[in-house]
Structures are given as structure tokens and as C-alpha cells.
Chains A and B, each alone.
Chain A
């Protein structure tokens, strides 16, 4: 048994009990990177030397007999759209190819305060736009369960690293499913907290009213610990919630007796993968067997959520990405004047999907179209949210598939953006409604690709979501399973 196979909470206990050192652990994970990163390509930047220094410092601390925090000395990775002072943050875009932030994101500060070992920055779809990590300007990431397949996206690098054992934990961001869908594809646990639960300060904005940072981990326990670290109000983020943060590890109780679980009929859509439906329905049965009360519910505006999302998100993206103009930071492609310089820079350095969304967004915001598109999309967003408000009068959590299919083949959908957008059908509504959701592994497709179960909660009620997820997780072994990779099963 290798150390990289263990979840953080096990490794933490081993460090505390001096069964291992952080340097041993870090070296083991770095060795795993050497073994499989060439196949997986989860990282954009690996900070090997810095990681070993951090590990050594933690070992010294343990040697002095000092107590350590949960994450202390445990190697993890950060998605490349979260600012890290002094470490390149490219958003997987050519336009920020050499951008080194002079400041830390609030979550980076909070994580660093725990003294973990940071291994580096993970690959993603450029500016978080995509669901396969194929839109990275550098290279696609491969799914550790089958390197012919995508890891999902946009946090594909974070999910693949945790799945492959090249990181014990990771941070991702979720605008329309970008944590949950890759977690589902890679057989790991990924959580999108309530909008406002985690500060967005230092998260390079894609769609500000939808973006949310969250953890990707081996199991629900690690997820709860990570959420404890990153959650909370931030004076630098006006949209962060001032509501007190509970101790999420208190939710790690295997008990769903009497919990009302809603099953929305609209999520079991036509064209949904048969394996996914079968697996998710089996998980629902399992929850019922564990004592949950299953309630059929309806979320009637679900089918409009994608259309609403693909107007609101590009509109916000169009303005958020205006700052990349070659003037004061980022890459520049010269031209004969300021307008030409800006045009050349943006034409050359943004990828196709980013340009597509900028075009859609600007179109939706332009004079004469605003009411027909953007404003209407906002109205639909409200209707989607009201669906959930009503549903949550009857149920405590809602359970659904995370994605309509298991991981698909690299290149399979890249030429059909609309088909790709439909991948987000099960995840996007939560972002529109601002609700928390988690994806936990619940089985495999016939070709042995992981399938995720999505558990959705009321706003700011991550606690109940985690309890339901933990209870389900404890009843089976999917979260403990790792992919065969590099010719040997972990």
C-alpha cells in the first residue's frame, strides 16, 4: 500500500502518530507524479522544491512536539484560476502564460495558514469555460480511469490529480458544474458550496454571479475538513455570506433516518445514459434502505436552465475578460496603434471557446438585445430558483445524477459545442439558484467508468448535504477505489 492512496484524514493521523513524515508522504506523491503524470497531465505547474521545503518544515514542527492542523503537511493542488502569490496563475490561457500574481486569493491564504504541502497548479478549461479540460490552451488532461477519456471540466486537472493519487486533495471552482462533473467522471468527491459561502476574492472571474470555489477530495470526510478551512465571510468579497459557518465535521454521522430525499423527474432526461440512470436509481434505493424517505418532486423549469446559463455566464464573462488587453499585464501582441494592439492580443491569445462565449455575451448585452436575451435569462433564473424554494418546502435534500453520461472520449464532442453544453444539464441549475451540491461516487458504467451521485441542499445547508453524502459513502466502497493506471492497480 502506497501513501498516496490514502485520504487526508488517514494521513493526518499517521503524521500525528509519527508513523510517517510529511517528507516521506510528499516524496511518495511526487514519485506518483513521476509515474503517471505523463499519462494524466493534470498539472500546469509543479512546485516540487517548494513542496519538499514545506514538508520539511512541518516535520520539524512535529519533531518539536507541536500540534498540527488537519491539512498540515499533506500534499494537495490548486486549480490554476485561483491566485497564488509568486506562483504562475494562467487560467490555462495563453493570455496569462507568464502571469505571476502579486497577491494570494483569500482561499489560498486560508489554505496556506494550515501549512499544507502545495504541489502546484492544476489544468482546466481556459478561464473555466468547458466541461472536458480539452479547452486548456496547453494540453488536455486525461481521465485516470481511461486515459482515452476526458476527466470532465473545467476543474479536470484537480479531479484527475486526486483520482490518480498525484494529489491528496485539491481546490476547484464551479460555475456550471465544474467541480461536480469532473468529480463524477473521475470517481472522487467534489463539492460546490452555496454561492457566497466561500470567498471569491482571488478567483479569476468567469461568471461572477455563478462562480464558487470548492473542495475535491478522496472522500466526504476530507471534503468536510476542507470546507471548514475555506468557508467564511471575507471583507474583500461583498457577495460572501456573513452567516456563521458550522463545523462541517459534525455532519460526518452515518444517519439519514427520516431524511426527506426529493427525486426530481426532470433530471432523468431522455437521452440519458442507461448506466447512469440505473446506477443513480440504485443509489436512491440504497438511501431508502438506510432510512431516508424518498419523495418524487418536480422542478419544472429545469429544461430552461441551460439556455439561461448560456446567456448569463457569457454576458458576465464578456465583461470580466475585457481586462485582458495587453496594456499592463498578461501577454501582448503588438500592433500599429492601441486598438490594433488590443485586437491582436485578444485574437491571438484567447482560445476558440473563450472567444465564442465573449461573442455570445456581448451580443446578449448589446443595445436592442438586452431585454430579449439577458433580461429574459435573468427572469428564467428566478423561476429556476423558485422551483427549488418550493421543492425544499417538502424535502431536505434533492438527489439526482451529476452528469447525464460517464466520461466521454477525448475529441468526441469538441466540435459540437451545443452537445457539450448539454452536459451541464444536471449541474447548472444549482449555480443559477446558488445552492450547494456534492458529487459522490456511486458506481461504474459497463465500461468501468465512474458515475457520480449528486446531492443538492438548501442554501447554506451544506451540513445536511454532507451528512447524506457521508451516510451513503459509508454504505459502500466506491470512494476507496482507485483507477488502474500505468499498468498497475493502486
Chain B
């Protein structure tokens, strides 16, 4: 029997507010342990939470950008469970009246666009972090708690089980990340735990409707891990089902080093969260006017931006998709073409040499030594014919380590393209005279032999001869 996977994601995203959700402590990552704390986030006796209005604003923006309906009456609830990183032993979260519901995003799959529905988005506080004395919890004598992260605002984005493959799950998470970055509500730094997902997966015989028993994998914090964990889990479940066994509903952890998932707890051991309305906070009431104002102020989102790049600049859907996948890329692109650089060339350079160099050095586009302005200037030089594409590669390499403008580099290094017919003709004549063999071959009908001669001319001109003119002149002389 062949099975199909049913996958749903719960994405947790830290919001980039300056202060925590219920107190004035800083949210900044990486501070010394227990320095961003106060009686409120430490859950001392007698303290009360006060909602950070920014958190509500960011959550509404996320809701709108993810095509949700905003609930005009929303409230907080207490989710009760004991864990040492949770000072109150309840998490202030949202239960039956979340801030946003009924949204969707579209992803690109091998079979074309696919709509992934979003069930709900709710606001909640993050927990603290356990710091174990050993390498793992098992070989530790003791653990300490760092409460800096306690109370950092989160939104949880819950999808419908609309994904069928690990690749779709990854594409969905990438799309959500991209949108959150566009609207500037989260740093989405997965390595800092800004963005992490719980993966729910079950199998069912292909073509059937009833959902199978699911397993959940918690706190997956890289795209690769999303794909790997799901692939492993689908295989694991498939083997069990094929052997006639049944899946146990449970929570599993992903061990990225061993590449396997392990059981954490079964349904029987699952928490009863005993949700209760949070009596210390008043409900969040939002008006239509406020929602409209947030909607109007949303920036252009990835899908719209991609379409604009396709329609306005004639970029391919693939190129436009890659460039708009991250807000930083898209903004870089807009800056490259701002002073008149050709859009298609800009796209090629960004996805070619720029991407290659960034990857090699592990840099983000914001850290690129070649900023958008200089890349744009260089592309203008290509279009004007001042330099060839080949010379441009040299200029680009030079710019990577030098702060100089491309024009200055071209001038200083004498890289201006030779477009003087007479000058090129002289080299062409010399090359023809010095290379009788390819000349003969060409004349005998092997037209490809011209390549060797072009190469020689370019070499002798130190790459500066206009390649089009070299081709033209050589052909004219040889055909004469």
C-alpha cells in the first residue's frame, strides 16, 4: 500500500519589540544571564502583567499579512504546566479567542502554486532557558535557569494539515518567514531561536480522507531540520504501518546529530493545560478603523513584489521568486536598479557572482562588501559598453575588497573596453598571421575554430577588446 503524509506546522516567532510582552525588560538576545529580568517576568508573588501594545500591533500586522481575519474581541488565557523555565508555572497565552484566524499563504511546489491554510495566530510569552552544568540534561548534576528570554513576546502561527511533503513544509515555513521579515515584526533569526516550529505528521493510505494518528516534533529550528525530521518521521511511520503496526500518538524530539526522532512523551502522559481566562489582563478590543489603518500601512508583500518584478522588468517567475523571497534581497535589488541599471542584468549578478561570493564567506546580503549602489554603477558601465561582462567580473572581484567606485577601478586598472575598430583590427590581423592552423580549419568549414582566434585576441587585449566587435572583425577577415 502506498501512503501519503499529512503535515501541519505550529510556527513560533519571537516578535522584535524592544521590551517584553508584560513588563519593561529588554528583549535583546545574548545578554549576560538573568540581567534582563524584573519582578514581573520573574513571576514574583504579587506581580501583574501589563500588555505591551506593540505586541498586539505586531500580531495584528502578522495576521493581516497572512490573510487572516482579525478578532475584534480577543483575550488572554493561562496555560498551566509545571516546568522550571516557566516561573509562574503557567504560560500567559491565548486559547479560544486568538488575535487572528482563518488565513492562508500560497507556496510554490513542483505541481505549481498551493494554498496552505492558517488556522489561527495567537500571542504568548516565551519561557526562560535551562542552562545545564553538563553537555546534556542527562549528564548534568544541576541546571540553572536564565530568565532573560522569559516574557519575550511570541506569536504562534498554526497551520491546517495542508502539506503533503517535507519540501512543502519547508516552502511554507520559508514563506511565513519571508512575510514576517517583510512586515518587520520578527528578526526570524533561526539560530537564535527567533523562529522555530513544531511539526505534526501522520500518514494515511493514498486517496483516503480520514486522518491517521499523528506524531509531533517540537522546537525544530532550521529549514534543513524541518525537511530531515519530516522525511525521517514519514519513513519511520511508513515502516510501522507496513509491518501491520499502529502509530502511537506522541511527542518526539529530533536529534539532528543522529538524524533520528525519539519519543518524549505519549498522549497518556500529555499535559491537561487547564486553560483559564487570564484575570489580570483586560480583553483586547480592536476597532475596524484600527484594523484598516494597519492594513493600509502594510508594506508590499512577497507575492505582490514578485509579480511587480515580473510585470515591470520582465524577470522570469523563478528569478523574481528568488529575489523577493527575502525582504533584504528585494530591497537590495530595488537599490541596484534605482539609478538606471538594467533589471535583468541586476538579477543575474545578484543570483550569480554576488550570491556565490556571499555564500563562500557566509555573509548575508546586508553584510555584502559590494553595496547595491556600486553594483548598480557597475551594471550601468556594462550597459554603456564601457566594460564587457567579462571585465565586469574582474571589477566585481576588485570591488569585493576595495571601497572604490567601479568607475575608478576601471580607470585605475586600465580596464576600459577597447571599442576602437582600428586598434582591434591590428590585434586581429596579428592573431590571424600568428595562428595559421585555426585559420585553415575555419576556412575548411570548421566554423568553431574561430573560438580559438577570439580567445587569442581577447588575451592579447587583456580582455579589454569588445568581444562583439572581435567576433565581427574576425569573421569578416576570414570570410573575405
Contact = CB atoms under 8 A, between A and B. Distances in A.
B47 A201 contact: yes
Contact of A202 (B46, B51, B281): B46
Nearest to A339: B82
Interface string A96-109: 10010111010000
B180 to A, nearest CB: 27
B362 interface: no
B280 A239 contact: yes
Contacts of A374: 276
A371 B176 CA distance: 36
B45 interface: yes
Given A319-B274, A366-B274, A200 B48 contact: yes
Contacts of B274: 318-319, 362, 365-367, 370
Contacts of B147: 328
Contact of A239 (B84, B90, B282): B282
Interface in A190-245: 200-205, 207-209, 235-239
B49 interface: yes
Interface stretch (B36-44, B117-125, B247-255): B36-44
A322 interface: yes
Nearest to A205: B46
Contacts of B145: 327-328
A174 interface: no
A474 to B, nearest CB: 37
B164 to A, nearest CB: 31
B87 interface: yes
Contacts of A96: 45
Given A323-B87, A323-B88, A365-B276, A89 B45 contact: yes
A366 B89 contact: no
Interface string B239-269: 0000000000000000000000000000000
Given A315-B276, A319-B78, A328-B145, A237 B48 contact: yes
Q: Which of B46, B51, B84, B275 has the most CB of A within 10 A?
A: B46
A322 B89 contact: yes
A323 B83 CA distance: 10
B50 interface: yes
A126 B281 CA distance: 25
A331 interface: no
Contact of B45 (A83, A315, A339): A83
B288 interface: no
Interface in A92-125: 96, 99, 101-103, 105
Contacts of B279: 207-209, 239, 316
A238 B280 contact: yes
Contacts of B78: 319
Interface string B95-134: 0000000000000000000000000000000000000000
A374 B88 CA distance: 21
Contacts of B389: none
Contacts of A170: none
A209 B78 CA distance: 14
A432 interface: no
B272 interface: yes
Nearest to A315: B276
Contacts of A365: 80, 274-276
A295 B46 CA distance: 41
A238 B88 contact: no
Interface string A248-279: 00000000000000000000000000000000
A261 B221 CA distance: 65
A89 B45 CA distance: 9
A315 to B, nearest CB: 6
Interface in B65-87: 78, 80, 82, 84, 87
A290 interface: no
Contact of B44 (A101, A325, A370): A101
A238 B87 contact: no
Interface in A355-414: 362, 365-367, 370, 374
Nearest to A196: B282
B80 A319 contact: yes
Contacts of A99: 45
Contacts of A367: 272, 274
Nearest to A374: B276
Contacts of A82: 46
Given A102-B44, A323-B89, A342-B82, A238 B276 contact: no
A366 B48 CA distance: 24
B45 A323 contact: yes
B263 to A, nearest CB: 18
Chain B interface residue bracket vs A: 20 to 34
Given A103-B39, A365-B274, A338 B84 contact: yes
A416 B116 CA distance: 58
Contacts of A315: 276
Nearest to A96: B45
Given A238-B282, A239-B282, A328-B145, A101 B82 contact: no
A204 B275 contact: no
A91 interface: yes
A328 B87 contact: yes
Interface in B274-293: 274-276, 279-282
A317 B49 CA distance: 17
Contacts of A338: 84
Nearest to A338: B84
Contacts of B46: 81-83, 89, 101, 105, 201-205
Interface string B46-67: 1111110000000000000000
Contacts of A370: 274-275
A322 B89 CA distance: 6
Given A236-B48, A322-B90, A323-B89, A208 B280 contact: yes
B48 A322 contact: no
B138 to A, nearest CB: 12
Given A102-B44, A328-B42, A366-B274, A319 B90 contact: yes
Nearest to B81: A322
Contacts of B276: 315-316, 319, 365, 374
A202 B87 contact: no
Nearest to A83: B46
A124 B281 CA distance: 27
Contacts of B48: 200-201, 236-239
A204 B280 CA distance: 12
A146 to B, nearest CB: 34
A329 B281 contact: no
A145 to B, nearest CB: 32
Contacts of B272: 366-367
Contacts of A322: 80, 82, 88-90
Q: Which of B39, B42, B280 has the most CB of A within 10 A?
A: B280
Given A238-B49, A316-B276, A319-B276, A325 B282 contact: no
Nearest to A99: B45
A237 B45 CA distance: 14
Nearest to A90: B45
Contacts of B43: 323
Nearest to A365: B274
Q: Which of B48, B51, B145, B147 has the most CB of A within 10 A?
A: B48
Given A322-B89, A365-B276, A101 B80 contact: no
A204 B147 CA distance: 21
10 contacts: A83-B46, A89-B46, A208-B280, A237-B50, A238-B281, A319-B80, A322-B89, A323-B43, A325-B89, A327-B84
Given A237-B50, A325-B89, A367-B272, 8 more contacts: A89-B45, A105-B46, A319-B274, A322-B80, A322-B82, A327-B145, A328-B42, A367-B274
Interface of A: 81-83, 89, 91, 96, 99, 101-103, 105, 200-205, 207-209, 235-239, 315-316, 318-319, 322-323, 325, 327-329, 338-339, 342, 362, 365-367, 370, 374
The 9 closest A-B pairs by CB, nearest first: A322-B89, A208-B279, A365-B274, A209-B279, A204-B45, A202-B46, A204-B46, A83-B46, A323-B88
